[in-house]
A and B are shown apart, each in its own frame.
Chain A
């Protein structure tokens, strides 16, 4: 069975599959080429409706048509940007710099038409601009049935990803409106393909900002022409961070407390999020074959948007660590043994995670495999952003990039009951294991219930959050403690004065500042103690932990040191409750 795992199987003959729209599972699983069998007809309902119900060929054809019309009518840079690898002659270089400067001045140039004309002019000169319907059309036709795992989710139809393209881009007011909007946003995120094709924009319709995508792509190409790599540029208020990874370009334009290296980390998380939907192998392959491929239809924007939102305020992503529900150690052991017993029955489960909202309750892994925190965070985000998981049992392929970015794992995701915030994720490498995992799920839930553990867990969740006065170290206003070995962190509730959102955001900014200073590549710090007008900050990195704490601004150093020691003792006494140790099958 294990050899059947998708990530271990050879990826031979992939391209031939691309042109076979009828084979539904073959692409996702990338199983060996001989396995021609279709999926079994008696799949669970939710999955089959997702597979067969929503996408038929007619819909696809329409999608392609829209795409084509959009290309030829607007004549905008999508096609221009295909030719990223054209040789740059000296005169072309001059023209390019002129073009780039002109393009960038869109926002302030009232004479839009001339610029569009200029752009078309340039388009006309490049060889690969012809609207070639061939590869794109072909792949778009088969795409919905093939690789998109998100379409396996029971998504309500109103959440359809087909975006109606109603407006053409020639109206200049559109440009100005979108730019006004963009300026108001604190953090814009854009994802585009290497050839400049829009894939995602955090705000607004990416088609309306298509000229910006062209410029961003040009920046990357210009710098890479000199065998260099654009990292970021900054104004006094904003950072413009560029990440060119695989065939994708991720751009974040932020007016936040985050440092560029921290934003880079977030962009890598976003990239991983994309990988989790389509695998690295497929992403690279599809862009190798069709440079101008429109990736949008393969992705779920919702995942990306929710991840960006989480990363804005959740320290998990900054620390690359998981937060747990604190609970009694014996209860945890009981839960673990329940999970292990159930899992040992069919031996198809590799990982089991019991989660409430975005906090871990239990984690059992196969003894020879490990899940990195970033993968677990992606799973959190997937469930967090999909409300429909609540009402159904779900079986979905998911690629966990840190574990293996080449293939899919299969996740059985289901809440323990209708009222609870608690859900179980069971992961297997066997795509046929749905019924086995379903059974494991049922066994686990039943046992937890019959032993009364569920109620106990519910109680733990209710009392999961603690405050500083509760732990009797009132000098400390707030802290974050990360355990390196377990990749977990704990922090109390935000108390006064960090009750309103603005203050909390500012506090998070202070944590970002400390984190940045602890991890400067050439001059990392071990201890930082900073007195500011609004608080005194403390950070400490040790081989076993990383610690951030915030005090009153007027606290004296002896009392701060005293409070840190008190907190140390408390941490030592309660570490078994605060952090969970993964059990193994």
Chain B
């Protein structure tokens, strides 16, 4: 092995040396210095890349999965009904969870760790996040959290909004088209979804909230799309 091969090996595989490269390193002062520099570099590189993992990630993954079996049973029932009455429905069987359940699952799971800030989120930051998905939000009020998330594998904006009546979760989903408004009660929550732009918007409030309609109206007025 020569010096060029030694250096190529280091740059290809970090500072892991086999017998041959180790022998060269021990016999060549220049490559020994190179190896020491490279070791320092690799140590820094390892630290730079190994960003800390959020607390509770493992638990949240298992929690998310715990929603899956119930969905499968529901899909099974739906598919059976459709197969009997219409003769189609295989797509429902294999398809994802209903959008309302997906929103609720995401809202509940996200509530457990994201929480809301003590202060309203700066509007410039909110705009940066919503604009990224082609949405503009004006006069929505006291937004405590806004971030990107995935619903049914598509990008969405997830927001927490405080009102005098209570807090609600809002999803802006540019890539989840909906034909008509849907309002469902799911596990103690009211999930309202309606078409907006080329996609849809979802609002999740506690069941029985008499302010859901006024909230929906406010959201309809507040959100515009540029796509």
The judgment on whether A and B are partners is no
Give the interface of A toward B (CB within 8 A): none
Give the interface of B toward A (CB within 8 A): none
